[in-house]
């Protein structure tokens, strides 16, 4: 485990975080971000700065060989660090709405999914990767193949998510558990209306839809895809800035993103924060383009 200090440009302390990257015996699996403490205004004008911890389960270095991360692991690291930035860069002094606290369920994944976009940016990847033996950077041709693999059948995956989300929403709003239509009938009806592949007669996928029955996402499964819409549209602002600055790592856009989205936490509705950053309501265009479904 390592401990880091996050400083402002003038050297003042903004936040701190622990990072625990590697798998070990007895450690809980998966990857997550959580807070050790939140930002809070104290008596006398002092500030309790936030502290986060970022936990992953990557393969550790062996002997004199460095740790080798898969691209999926890099995406995971960026995702969890997006949550960390949301928590650490807040400027709100009330714990209940500071950082990640108080942010609506369907927007709390915006900063994390936003960060994943950089893992599909050749400018970023080529600057942080190299061949373990030769030291050569990531070849452009290999990157293009990775991108094509990511977008393969993305339309099918999108339809699958829409079926899941619609089923969940109807199940918790207008479904009559005492009516003639069964839960399985509902799933088939929605699949037939939305998807291009019929639901197999023996399929009982609602019986194992653990996200909405044991995972806390009841009536909220749609937030996965909705957060993708928000994060893709936010990232599009950086792509637009790159047309002028020449880089998606545009500092002016980054400062505006920090000011309007990361720093406000749950102190105002997430949609207000989005509009303050983007200047308009969310649009789906960037999500379709990032998924290879639009030019």
Specify the DSSP class assigned to residue 196.
S
Helical spans, DSSP H, in 53-209: 71-88, 110-116, 122-128, 140-151, 154-171, 183-194
CA distances from 13 to 68, 248, 267 (A): 32, 27, 22
Tokens of 233: 């549209």
94 in active site: no
| Neighbouring C-alpha atoms within 13 Å toward the C-beta of 250 | 19
Q: Give kind and range of the element (H or E) at residue 287.
A: helix 285-290
DSSP string, 205-273: GGGG-HHHHTSS-TTTTTHHHHHHHHHHHHHHHHHHHHHHHS-S--HHHHHHHIIIIITTTTSS-HHHH
CA distances from 34 to 17, 88, 141 (A): 10, 11, 37
> Which one of 25, 73, 80, 144 is the catalytic residue?
80
Contact between 285 and 294 (Cβ < 8 Å):
yes
Contact between 58 and 22 (Cβ < 8 Å):
yes
Q: Which residues contact 61 (CB under 8 A, 6 or more apart)?
A: 67
Positions annotated as catalytic residues are 80
């Amino acid at each position: 485990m390592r401990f880091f200090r996050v400083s402002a440009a003038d050297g003042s302390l903004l936040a701190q975080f622990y990072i625990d990257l590697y798998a070990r015996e007895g450690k809980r699996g998966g990857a997550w971000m959580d807070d050790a403490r939140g930002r809070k205004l104290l008596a006398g004008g002092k500030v309790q700065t936030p502290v986060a911890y970022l936990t992953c389960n990557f393969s550790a270095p062996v002997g004199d060989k460095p740790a080798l991360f898969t691209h999926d692991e890099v995406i995971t690291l960026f995702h969890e660090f997006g949550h960390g930035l949301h928590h650490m860069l807040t400027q709100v002094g009330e714990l209940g709405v500071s950082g990640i606290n108080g942010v609506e369920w369907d927007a709390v994944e915006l900063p994390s999914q936003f960060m994943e976009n950089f893992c599909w940016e050749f400018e970023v990847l080529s600057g942080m990767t190299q061949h373990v033996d030769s030291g050569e950077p990531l070849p452009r041709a290999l990157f293009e193949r990775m991108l094509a693999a990511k977008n393969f059948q993305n339309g099918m995956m999108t339809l699958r998510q829409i079926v899941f989300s619609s089923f969940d929403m109807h199940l918790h709003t207008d479904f009559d558990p005492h009516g003639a239509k069964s839960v399985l009938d509902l799933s088939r009806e929605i699949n037939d209306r939305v998807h291009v592949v019929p639901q197999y007669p023996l399929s009982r996928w609602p019986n194992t839809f653990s996200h909405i029955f044991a995972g806390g996402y009841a009536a909220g499964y749609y937030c996965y895809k909705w957060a993708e819409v928000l994060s893709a549209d936010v990232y599009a602002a950086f792509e637009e800035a790159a047309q002028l600055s020449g880089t998606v790592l545009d500092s002016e856009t980054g400062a505006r993103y920090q000011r309007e989205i990361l720093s406000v936490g749950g102190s105002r509705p997430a949609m207000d924060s989005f509009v303050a950053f983007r200047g308009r309501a969310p649009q789906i265009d960037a999500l379709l383009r990032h998924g290879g479904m639009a030019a």
